[in-house]
Amino acid sequence: MKLFAHFYALECQLFMYINHYFNHRKLNLFFRTITHLGGAKFTITAILLLILFTSNSIQLTVIASAISLTISHIPVACTKKLFPRKRPYLNLPQINVTENPLKDHSFPSGHTTAIFSIITPFIFLDPVLTIVLILIGFTVGLSRIYLGLHYPSDVIAGCMLGSITGILSFVFIESSIPQLFM
């Protein structure tokens, strides 16, 4: 229990370090915009458009992303019910938070899970995209902390969950139709 308390204290320090930059106008605009890349409206719309307007291995990779996005949110919903962790702005004093903050539980980050579940299959399709896609995913995760909505461990868990489902979905699709990935 002492180890957990120590970890939580360190996590709160990291959270507060990131969150205290909240009142910088340009950072606010950037993070309030980029955070939506992990939101349901953007992820679902992007997947549907890419399914309609791509073909062959790219379209199959988008399908893997869609499967990953869908599957990854089952454990997100279950975990939020099993581990009802309050969001940082509800637990910590003097936290900067966005207007109309989320009221559901914090662990794991659904936005981070979503973005990593979508980008991971594309990393496997074309490793040249890795740095750009990881940077996008990391920035969405960082935005969740910056905006006062998630602890760092929420974001790390979302990253891991989204990445694992992304890998499994890509492997499933690639093994089902291997000739299109050669």
Give the separation between CA 43 and CA 52, rounded to whole angstroms.
Answer: 14
pLDDT tens, residue by residue, 51-72? 999 989 999 999 999 999 999 9
**14-20, long-range: CB within 8 Å, 24+ apart, which pairs?**
14/145, 14/152, 15/88, 15/92, 15/145, 15/151, 15/152, 16/92, 16/95, 18/142, 18/145, 18/146, 18/152, 19/88, 19/95, 19/96, 19/145, 19/146, 19/148, 20/96
Mean pLDDT along residues 142-167: 96
Is 178 a residue whose pLDDT tops 80? Answer: no
Other Cβ atoms less than 10 A from the Cβ of 47: the count is: 19
Name the residue with higher pLDDT: 29 or 3. 29
**Most confidently modeled range among 1-15, 65-79, 88-102:** 65-79
The pLDDT confidence band at residue 181, using thresholds 50, 70 and 90, is low
**What is the rounded radius of gyration, in angstroms, for the C-alpha atoms of the chain?**
17
Q: Report how far residue 78's alpha carbon sits from residue 136's, in angstroms, rounded to the nearest whole number.
A: 26
Residue 20: the pLDDT is 84
- What local confidence, expressed as pLDDT, does residue 70 receive? 97
pLDDT, tens only, 14-51: 999 898 877 788 988 999 999 999 999 999 999 999 99
pLDDT at 182: 60
